[in-house]
Structure 1
Amino acid sequence: MYQLEKLTKTYTGKRTVHALKDVSLEIGDGELVAIQGPTGGGKSTLLQMLGGLDRPTSGSVRLAGEDLAALDDRGLTRARAQRLGFVFQHFNLIPTLTAAENVETALVPAKVPAAERSRRALEALASVGLAERADHLPGELSGGQQQRVAIARALVKEPTVLLADEPTGNLDEATRDEIVDLLEGLWKEQGLTVILVTHDSVVARRAQRRLRIAAGKVTEVA
């Protein structure tokens, strides 16, 4: 699925920050991978590279053989629209749109017809247990329900990879466990490759494979 070769990301400003340093890594098709590490260690930067949200300073990020680092903006947009689903800590839902409308927004860049967008959005909400909340605004939903909507928005594109950045960071322990159960279930049922960044060791231990990143270097956790 993923092959990273000597991936390096350097930010320059008042001081130079080496967020990633010669990272070489393989992630197989259908793996559930957790990435942990200290604040500023490079976790989110690595996830951004895997998602084509940022470009490396050097090195390659191959997704199913295609180097994301070498794609132009149109190619990256296509890859994100067709292959990648994203889930974030802060949900990033549009407060004036219903749950179903928020999910539909993921299909707009792909120019999916309105009727099909609606059908797929309702199916995605049903897959996360929120079919009955389709017409509710985010403000009418709990934190856990909002994160379920965000997961549905990621899934509606029918991606092969789900990337999650601290998906339980804003949730209490009980809701955290529900969301992790949901992600694990979707991973098993849909054969997704799931890569999640988390500071929570309880969440990380649920993964099939654990990585640690610190000072821009990635190591395996036994």
Structure 2
Amino acid sequence: MYTLTSVSKRYRRGKQTINALDSIDLTIDRGDQLVVQGPTGGGKSTLLQLLGGLDRPTTGSIVLDGTDLAKLSEAKLTKVRATTVGFVFQSWNLIPTLNARENVETALVPLGVRPGERRRRAAQALESVGLGERLTHLPGELSGGQQQRVAIARAIVKEPKVLLADEPTGNLDEDMRDEVMSVLESLWRERGLTFVMVTHDSAIARRAPRLAVIRKGRIKVSENAAA
């Protein structure tokens, strides 16, 4: 699904050049689950942004299903983000004045889905994350774990091939962390998603079949025998 070849990402900070990623090679197969760990500033979130087409590499290629994201126009990258990739972030970024179903529906508006179909698909997505009885609840009426599940439903309602998660349990306590991870892992298995997640949590990392560690812009991938 993904083939990254000699991918580098450099930023300028004043007179200093920061090598967020330094000529990395990485293959992520269809249906794979990969957890990415490493120190703050090591390049984890940069990698996720490149995989999702939110940023472009300074050098190298990022091939997704035969298409090099680095060479796409901004309009075509926007289409990839809208149709192929679902994003889940540490902050769930729900609109406080919209209820759970309406928040999920926002992912379908750019696709031109009709209102009735949006409502049906949003309700179905919320049901799949265990919130079928909370469709009309506002974010302020939901717990942190429930709000993150709404955000997950928003990410998967467009039926993406790829799910990218950046510290999705970072704002949750241990019980809610396990609850959200169970939802994510179930969706990964049931939908055959390619799932890449950044986390600082070693307990979560131990659950994944593959672990990538990024330090100083370099990457090392290992198989997780315990998963």
Specify the TM-score bucket, using the shorter chain as the normaliser: over 0.9
Q: Which residue of 1 aligns with 2:205?
A: 204
CA–CA separation in structure 2 for the residues paired with 1:57 and 1:94:
34
**Which letter does structure 2 place at the counterpart of 1:173?**
E
CA–CA separation in structure 1 for the residues paired with 2:170 and 2:159:
25
Shift of 1:39: 0.2
Aligned to 1:85, the other structure's residue is in SS state: strand
Aligned to 1:62, the other structure's residue is in SS state: strand
TM-score (norm 2): 0.96
Q: Which residue of 2 aligns with 1:61?
A: 62
CA–CA separation in structure 2 for the residues paired with 1:169 and 1:22:
29
CA–CA separation in structure 2 for the residues paired with 1:21 and 1:13:
16
- RMSD of Structure 2 on Structure 1 (CA): 0.7
**Which letter does structure 1 place at the counterpart of 2:56?**
R
Q: Which residue of 2 aligns with 1:2?
A: 2
Q: Is it true that 1:103 corresponds to 2:99 in the alignment?
A: no
**Which letter does structure 1 place at the counterpart of 2:87?**
F
CA–CA separation in structure 2 for the residues paired with 1:28 and 1:72:
25
Q: Is it true that 1:127 corresponds to 2:128 in the alignment?
A: yes
Aligned residues: 222
Report Cα offsets for 1:45-91 as digits up to 9, x if no partner.
00000000011111111111111111111100111111100000010
- Alignment of structure 1 residues 73-112 onto 2, 5 Å: 73-112=74-113
Aligned to 2:110, the other structure's residue is in SS state: coil
Aligned to 1:35, the other structure's residue is in SS state: strand
TM-score (norm 1): 0.98
Q: Which residue of 2 aligns with 1:23?
A: 24
**Which letter does structure 2 place at the counterpart of 1:44?**
S
Q: Which residue of 2 aligns with 1:167?
A: 168
Q: What are structure 2's unaligned runs of at least 5 residues?
A: none
Shift of 1:13: 2.9
Report Cα offsets for 1:114-160 as digits up to 9, x if no partner.
11111100000000000111101111100000000000000001000
**Which letter does structure 2 place at the counterpart of 1:146?**
Q
CA–CA separation in structure 2 for the residues paired with 1:187 and 1:208:
12
